[in-house]
Amino acid sequence: MTRTLVPTSTQKSGTGWPGPPAHEVILERLGQVTLEIDLLDDGGGARMYQEFPSDGETHQRQLLWFARVDVRRPALVASGLFAVPPDLLFNPAQGGKEALDPFLRAGSSLIRQEGENPAGPAPDPFAKALLVLQRHLAARLIPAAAALAARFSGPLRWWVYDQVARDETGRLAQMAQVCPGLLILANGWKERHPERQEALLAMIKAGVKLAKILDAVSGMMVPSLIPADLWPHQRVRIMRAGPLIGPAQLMRRPLPEMVGDDIPDDPPGNRAWFDLQDAAAKVVDQALVGPPRRSFLAFLSRHAVELRNLPDKRSSLPQWLSELCDYVRATDRHPGRNTPPARLVEESRRWHDRQEYLGVPRFLGRGGATSSIHSPKPPPEQPLEPGPARPFQRWSLDGDVIHFIPTAGDLEAESVRMQHCVTSYVLRAVAGEVQIFHAEVRGEPVTLEIVFPYGAPVLKQAKGVRNARPGEGPQQGIRIWLEDLFRAVKAAPRGPAPKLKGKFA
């Protein structure tokens, strides 16, 4: 690596952008490829090019990649490759070890050393030089703006830094500490609703009181995103949201049963509460209704942090929460705010592991819209209702097969074979509230639950043996089947035959 001190009065930036001259240039060569880095007073830049011999002693250059970051007003990010904005500038240590920001790593990963296995990982021959650039950029950041940006996560960091650095009033920096949820919301509007973002940022810079800003935001979100009756809950979520929350989380409809006063102040706990609410919105609405739903959501709200920190969650958060919800529904448990979460989770784990849901009538269907505490167990020959999927009960494509499970006895056999509690859905399946399918896709067995809320199929759950998450291959096959089923149901009964990838029999 060659480092050259360049007199600022004679040498312009080698990367070719207008602005202040470079005070130091770094050159790193590998074969015909050169990485040139400029360290500037207001930031830095890099470009990577390949040289080709031409006539005589001249050389032609082909630009492979460039990056430019200005960290002083006005801040700027530019790159020759699609990349997320800089993130690790604000916190370069990962696990105690300095890491190269993906924004800069995009350039070094273009190059492979001669003799490297093409199938192996890409080497980073220029990573050391780019780390020098990263350290320089971090040192040139405006300290106060950088400290605030570091509290946020991912792409939000650069956006917050940029906004705070540009703001001469200092009020955006103040709002980032008092109510970061408003800045997160503004960031979420930058693509689809830039006029809302501009209006919100203008109110903050003008010193409008927080209460009036929230009233104005209410007019922006109601009723297109949030129903009017839920706005008081949404207002609390915005006020209590910490810097680690994503914009999409603040734009989703709140669950009023999850109490805003339960939201922790510390950023990790704050994020755990919002993550659990997102998962609950996807899982609980379809599994529980009435008082069981209200008490279960109150339980999740009160114990969100403890639930997220419990060990032995062997699947993703929605899948794990779905298993807990199955147990609560099937056993007629009504956990509330005072229920010890560790004990309930352990009971659910034992219930699934021991397959206690098999052959016990009182475990069937409680908490569902059609269930009753005295519902008898259906006989094995009881048909299950296929609903709109009636003409499309078997599908195949290149060895993949997905078929509807037709009877209560077949559903119990599916539970035994797959070692999960799908048999507890039998009353809902008899009533046609859900349709259960078995899939053999890409060599993996999977149980599928779908519903038809608006006449079109929606996949609610896909679980392998012992509730395992299906692999990427089976997930792709299931998506193809679901697309075919959607087209087939939409065209039935009198529409033209749709063009399908697979075949229904």
Q: Which helix (H) or strand (E) holds 100?
A: none
How far apart, in whole angstroms, are the C-alpha atoms of residue 5 and residue 78?
25
Are residues 167 and 300 part of one domain? no
Are residues 110 and 5 part of one domain? yes
The residue whose two tokens read 């915005």 is 238
Max Cα–Cα distance, the chain, nearest Å: 94
> Is beta strand 444-451 parallel, antiparallel or unpaired with respect to 458-463?
antiparallel
Q: Answer yes or no: is 416 within a domain.
A: no
Are residues 249 and 321 part of one domain? no
Are residues 293 and 224 part of one domain? no
Are residues 135 and 3 part of one domain? yes
What pLDDT score does 198 carry? 96
What pLDDT score does 58 carry? 59
What pLDDT score does 238 carry? 96
Chosen domain end from 80, 107, 141: 141
- Render pLDDT for 323-382 as a digit per residue (tens, 0 to 9): 888 888 888 888 999 999 999 988 888 887 777 666 544 444 444 444 444 456 789 999
Domains held by the chain: number: 4
CA angle, 404 then 406 then 411, to 5°: 90
Q: Answer yes or no: is 291 within a domain.
A: yes
Q: Answer yes or no: is 259 within a domain.
A: yes
Q: Answer yes or no: is 493 within a domain.
A: yes
Are residues 271 and 223 part of one domain? no
Q: Answer yes or no: is 379 within a domain.
A: no
Do 311 and 294 meet the contact criterion of CB atoms below 8 Å apart?
no
Q: Name the nearest CA neighbour of 183 among 158, 206, 207, 156.
A: 156
How far apart, in whole angstroms, are the C-alpha atoms of residue 403 and residue 464?
15
Give residue 286's domain range: 255-354
Are residues 109 and 121 part of one domain? yes
How far apart, in whole angstroms, are the C-alpha atoms of residue 228 and residue 11?
61
Are residues 150 and 131 part of one domain? no
Q: Answer yes or no: is 180 within a domain.
A: yes
Query: What tokens does 502 get?
Result: 């697979």
Chosen domain end from 141, 175, 206: 141
Sheet holding 59-70, edge to edge: 2-5, 24-30, 33-40, 43-53, 59-70, 76-79
Q: Answer yes or no: is 263 within a domain.
A: yes
Q: Name the nearest CA neighbour of 394 among 298, 503, 498, 270.
A: 503
What amino acid occupies position 47?
R
What pLDDT score does 454 carry? 79
DSSP helix/strand/coil, 426: helix
Are residues 134 and 3 part of one domain? yes
DSSP helix/strand/coil, 236: helix
pTM (2 decimals)? Answer: 0.75
> Residue 423's CB: how many other CB atoms inside 10 A?
27
Are residues 307 and 185 part of one domain? no
How far apart, in whole angstroms, are the C-alpha atoms of residue 261 and residue 251?
19
DSSP, residue by residue, 261-273: GG--SSHHHHHHH
DSSP helix/strand/coil, 439: strand
What pLDDT score does 17 carry? 43
What pLDDT score does 12 carry? 40
> Residue 28's CB: how many other CB atoms inside 10 A?
22
Rounded to 10 deg, the angle between the 156-166 and 180-188 helix axes is 110
What amino acid occupies position 362?
R
Are residues 267 and 239 part of one domain? no
Are residues 102 and 9 part of one domain? yes
Question: 426 exposed, middle or buried (CB, 10 Å; 0-12, 13-18, 19+)?
Answer: buried
Q: Name the nearest CA neighbour of 19 among 66, 71, 60.
A: 71
Q: Answer yes or no: is 366 within a domain.
A: no
How far apart, in whole angstroms, are the C-alpha atoms of residue 240 and residue 260?
8
Chosen domain end from 236, 254, 272: 254
Low-confidence ranges of the chain (pLDDT < 50): 6-19, 112-123, 360-374
Do 424 and 450 meet the contact criterion of CB atoms below 8 Å apart?
no
Q: How many CA atoms lie within 13 A of 113 on its CB side?
A: 9
